[in-house]
Amino acid sequence: MIQVRLIPAIAVIILIWGSYPSLVRSAGTTGLPPRASTPSPTAGTYLAAGTYLALGDSYTIGESVDPADRYPVQAIRLLNRTDHLSCQDPDIIAVTGWTTGNLLDAVTRLKPAAPYRIVSLLVGVNNQYQGRSQAEYRDQFAALLQKSILLAGNDPSHVLVLSIPDYSVTPFGRTGDTSFIAAQIDSFNGINRSVAADYKVHYIDVTAESRKAVSDPSLIAIDGLHFSGKEYGRWAQLMEPWLKEMLQ
């Protein structure tokens, strides 16, 4: 059974819809409604270098899905079972509600040990949700990519950016202006795609895949906001050919 190593991160519980049961992590700031809370561990923890480090927010930590259904875990499982590779369990730095600024602070504090053979980055939905500026997003996303490249042994070819999925297709998203949300997600993705190209890292579009959930409820998690393990499995399938190439 795959066991994910979670790098401790400073977590502060926020209340948007009230208090919720403990899962894995809590939101670090006002973001998409959280579903988790845990005590704050000690900052400055070091972790031995490994195969794959996934950086992100609620999508990467797999809010409201089983830990085995997180997309980094499913991607590694594909490599081990389908491609017969022997990959270590993924390490994850991700908390529901995190913006680029929160993630940048966490990576700086926690000092994960390089090099990883793969580093992935998916973050930005909470920047959009909070109405934070796109200029700030560009600057902080670029800083995160710089750190990601360093964590990948200073090799940009071993860094992967995933686009921000579109939560306007979820029941929660449909309570708002779906056209505005979708346009904003596209705009933020234009930024992360451009920065990814500047730094010559690999880019995978999961946004188009996420939008299929508008007509397929099985792709949405039980909270009505995040995506399901089935949807994350599709992301893992998109990642698998590139991951295989990088790890062979």
Whole-number pLDDT of residue 33: 57
Whole-number pLDDT of residue 162: 98
CATH label of the domain that carries residue 13:
3.40.50.1110
Whole-number pLDDT of residue 102: 97
Residue linked to tokens 């690999």: 202
Whole-number pLDDT of residue 4: 59
Q: Which of 63, 70, 53 is nearest to 25 (CA)?
A: 63
Whole-number pLDDT of residue 85: 82
Range of the domain at 200: 5-247
Q: H helices of the chain, where?
A: 58-61, 71-81, 100-110, 125-129, 134-151, 178-198, 207-210, 229-247
Query: Hey, what are 172's tokens?
Result: 């929660």
Whole-number pLDDT of residue 94: 97
Whole-number pLDDT of residue 209: 98
Whole-number pLDDT of residue 15: 24
* Number of domains present in the structure of the chain: 1
Give pLDDT tens digits along the chain (248 positions).
Answer: 455 566 544 332 222 222 222 223 323 334 665 433 332 333 333 334 579 999 999 999 999 999 999 999 999 999 988 888 888 889 999 999 999 999 999 999 998 887 999 999 999 999 999 999 999 999 999 999 999 999 999 999 999 999 999 999 999 999 999 999 999 999 999 999 999 999 999 999 999 999 999 999 999 999 999 999 999 999 999 999 999 999 88
